[in-house]
Amino acid sequence: MDTIGLSILKGIISFFLHPLTYITIIGAFLLGRSRVKRDRRDFHTRVHDVLDDVVFAVVPCLIIGAAFFILNLFLGLTVPFSTTITMSIAALLLLITGQIRFLSPAFVMILPVFAALFYTPRDLGNSTLNRMQEGIGSVSFEALALLVGLLVFIEGYLIATNAGKQTSPRLVESKRGKIVGSHEMQRLWLLPLFLFLPVGNVESLSWWPLLDFGNESYAFLLLPFPIGFRKLIHHALPLPEMKTNGRQVALLGAGTVILGMISYFLDNEWVALAAIGLVMVGRAGILLLHRGKNKPAYFNERNEGLVILGILPGSPADQMSLQVGEVISKVNGLSLGKGVDFYTALQRNAAFCKLEVLDINGEIRFEQKALYNNTHHELGLLFVKENRFEDQEEAQ
């Protein structure tokens, strides 16, 4: 047990020595900074803090990484060190090119699979580089199928539970040249991925690990595995759309795990390769399914009422029970539309605000709040406005 504990400790240390750990965190910070710049361009104010993207990159994956650690500690999914290198290279290429929408485990695994099938190790004139190529063609495709299935399932869980939080409101131009609202989801998650390496001084036992991939001794590695997601939604509310998208990805991952288990028990790598191919094609299909380009805009200007595009955190509106996608039809008794401006109606009572709200189910309710001298002119709501390029405050 002392040997196992020491090997696990070395694996954990490797996570903090891996450059991809810090590149992913820096990437999340840069995503946050670009989002804040867009917020100021569209609304002349910041919606969410720049460091929120870093928090979302790390915090949700800590519990998930710990759960995967415990699961794989018993399963024993084993890949050569050379395969972890190709996984890191694929993730790094997608990161530095900014294509985080394709930073899915289903696409990251394309390079390791092709390397295992077609790459022949060669003398690179350096002993370290030569050692990095060892075992690249001996990887178990059954293990890869199970691994990519579990990772895609985790990706789906993250999309369903995390991608819809603190989405970024945006103003975009429609095909007809009108300004419409949309919500952008950009996430970069850093998953601590616990894996077995088929080398080391940890001996296998008769009952451990549960899955036998032909190895008798192991070492452990905690690999930083970035998972990216980006989507621009203009045709629907962001939260239910993300839940649907996430469930579909999670089901795809679960199906791949089932096929991977079948390939393991049948000892048939062709079934495993078919499972890997299906998850790649299926993930691309889900991307295409949720494009929503030809669907009508949900966040647009209306003849009567204003659709809430965003709510500033900590604002008076945030302290009320308002939600993105609801329609404000009246302010202080004045119906919006037909020349009645939100700001004008708000000024009707500088000390108090009463809103008539049409919720997402089409039901009317009332919200009210006392205002103070420093907040009577800004409630903290973001709307779609055609004159966004004029020099005026967009957050009312």
Q: Are residues 276 and 314 in the same domain?
A: no
Contact of 384 with 183, CB cutoff 8 Å:
no
What are the structure tokens assigned to 317, written together? Answer: 């509106």
Check which CATH number belongs to the domain holding 334 and give it.
2.30.42.10
State the Cα–Cα distance between residues 158 and 250, nearest whole angstrom: 9
Give pLDDT, residue 340.
61
Residue 266: band (very low, low, confident or very high) from pLDDT cuts 50, 70, 90:
very high
Contact of 259 with 274, CB cutoff 8 Å:
yes
In a domain, 393, yes or no: no
Please give the average per-residue pLDDT across 358-370, as a whole number. Answer: 86
Residue 252: band (very low, low, confident or very high) from pLDDT cuts 50, 70, 90:
very high
Q: What percent of the chain has pLDDT over 90?
A: 44
Digit-coded pLDDT (tens) for 307-323:
899 998 888 888 888 88
What are the structure tokens assigned to 302, written together? Answer: 């209306």
More reliable by pLDDT, 46 or 396: 46
Please give the average per-residue pLDDT across 279-298, as a whole number. Answer: 86
**Residue 389: pLDDT over 80:** no
Query: What is the reported pTM?
Result: 0.90
Q: Are residues 245 and 278 in the same domain?
A: yes
Type of residue found at 173: E
Q: Are residues 11 and 57 in the same domain?
A: yes
Q: Are residues 149 and 35 in the same domain?
A: yes
Domain that holds residue 110: 2-289
In a domain, 337, yes or no: yes
Q: Are residues 134 and 22 in the same domain?
A: yes
Please give the average per-residue pLDDT across 278-291, as a whole number. Answer: 92
Please give the average per-residue pLDDT across 191-204, as a whole number. Answer: 86
Mean of per-residue pLDDT scores for the chain: 86
**Residue 219: pLDDT over 60:** yes
Q: What is the dihedral of CA 42, 44, 49, 53, to 10 degrees?
A: 20
Q: Are residues 227 and 331 in the same domain?
A: no
Q: Are residues 281 and 320 in the same domain?
A: no
Give pLDDT, residue 261.
95
Please give the average per-residue pLDDT across 12-33, as a whole number. Answer: 93
State the Cα–Cα distance between residues 226 and 151, nearest whole angstrom: 11
Digit-coded pLDDT (tens) for 82-140:
999 999 999 999 999 888 999 999 999 999 999 999 988 888 888 888 888 888 888 99
Share in percent of the chain as helix, strand, coil (round to 5):
45, 20, 35
Angle at alpha carbon of residue 189, lines to 184 and 195, rounded to 5°: 155
Lowest model confidence (mean pLDDT) among 3-7, 44-48, 309-313: 3-7
Give pLDDT, residue 395.
45
**Residue 208: pLDDT over 70:** yes
In a domain, 390, yes or no: no
